[in-house]
């Protein structure tokens, strides 16, 4: 598709907190990214790995741990993160060109756990404002191989307090709760499709229950240029031309919401989390 997004895409992003842009990259490009990242993973340990690679492990995520912050040492990743196609879309959604802060490559091989429902802003901690994700499918993604699930309209919620996740189903150990009547929706995608979503949006995925299919995804995180602080893990922050911009560190703590029922109506009640200087790594 062309470089310009229609008003329908922009309206959906603002109304629902996310929008799927099909074919922003070609299937051939998606296949080339698969080849590139599979070669990087086969080469062994890389900077930013969550865990040591263990090809004899029963856990598929130890055989194929995700790659983190590849743009800091891999030009292919840097070029994708700062690509004009992503920059144009993100600028349309945010009304200003964003800053780039993160790349991740998820392999999610057959049998791999998913990731419990969460909000990206919990990890990124942009102040003021929030972050935006660009989540690109490299394989066909559906419910069998653990496609992304998203909660429509949840960008209108505040940052929610986290609770323990079921680590038999999720590689991350925190999640957020949903009240009765609020559910997540699977997002079926084809190679080269990109899902853009607001940092408050609740999203996650279930395990890959296929026997042969990977669910590989290339992900970038960005923040609006109005942001003045971000968690230390995401420094250095880049403009879309690749130059560095200096932002302050954003510490943990502050208000988060819990679901509470008053008079038969479920609402969010805000409470203060104890301040903490630790910076969790984005899952």
pLDDT in tens, 84-120: 999 999 999 999 999 999 999 999 999 999 999 999 9
Question: Does residue 281 have a pLDDT over 60?
Answer: no
- Residue range 3-11: average pLDDT? 87
- Higher-confidence residue of 131 and 55: namely 131
Q: How far apart are the first and last CA of the chain?
A: 30
Q: DSSP for 164-185?
A: E--TTTBSSSEE----TT---E
Q: Report, as an integer, the average pLDDT of 38-61.
A: 92
Q: Do 98 and 134 form a contact (C-beta atoms < 8 A)?
A: no
pTM attached to this predicted model: 0.94
CATH class of 7-45+58-158+181-251: mainly beta
Q: Over range 154-179, report the average pLDDT.
A: 96
Given a cut of 70, whether residue 283 has pLDDT beyond it is no
The domains of the chain are located at 7-45+58-158+181-251
Query: Cα separations (Å) of 282 from 24, 41, 171?
Result: 25, 20, 12
Residue of 68, 17, 40, 25 whose CA lies nearest to 197 = 17
**What pLDDT is stored for residue 278 in this prediction?**
38
pLDDT bin (cut points 50, 70, 90) of residue 275 is very low
Q: What is the structure's pLDDT at 282?
A: 60
Is a pLDDT exceeding 90 seen at residue 204?
yes
Please state, in angstroms and rounded to a whole number, the distance separating the CA atoms of residues 117 and 57. Answer: 26
Read off the pLDDT of residues 59-73 as tens digits, 9 standing for 90 and up: 999 999 999 999 999
């Amino acid at each position: 598709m062309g470089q310009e997004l229609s008003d329908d895409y922009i309206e959906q992003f603002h109304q629902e907190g996310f929008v799927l842009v099909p074919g922003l990259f070609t299937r051939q490009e998606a296949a080339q990214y698969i080849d590139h990242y599979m070669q990087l993973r086969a080469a062994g340990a890389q900077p930013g790995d969550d865990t040591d690679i263990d090809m004899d492990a029963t856990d598929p995520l130890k055989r194929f741990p995700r790659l983190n912050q590849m743009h800091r040492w891999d030009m292919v990743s840097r070029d994708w993160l700062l690509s004009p196609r992503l920059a144009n879309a993100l600028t349309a959604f945010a009304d200003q060109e964003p800053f780039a802060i993160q790349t991740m490559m998820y392999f999610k091989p057959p049998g791999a756990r998913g990731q419990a429902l969460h909000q990206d802003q919990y990890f990124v901690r942009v102040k003021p404002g929030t972050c935006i994700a660009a989540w690109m499918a490299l394989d066909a993604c559906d419910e069998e191989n653990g496609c992304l699930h998203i909660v429509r309209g949840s960008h209108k919620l505040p940052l929610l307090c986290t609770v323990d996740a079921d680590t038999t189903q999720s590689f991350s150990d925190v999640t957020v709760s949903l009240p009765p009547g609020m559910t997540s929706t699977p997002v079926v995608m084809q190679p080269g499709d990109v899902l853009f979503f607001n940092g408050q949006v609740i999203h996650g995925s279930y395990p890959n229950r296929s026997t042969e299919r990977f669910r590989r995804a290339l992900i970038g995180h960005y923040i609006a240029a109005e942001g003045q602080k971000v968690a230390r893990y995401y420094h250095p922050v880049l403009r879309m031309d690749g130059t560095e911009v200096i932002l302050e560190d954003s510490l943990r703590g502050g208000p988060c919401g819990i679901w509470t029922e008053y008079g038969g109506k479920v609402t969010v009640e805000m409470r203060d989390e104890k301040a903490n200087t630790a910076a969790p790594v984005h899952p």
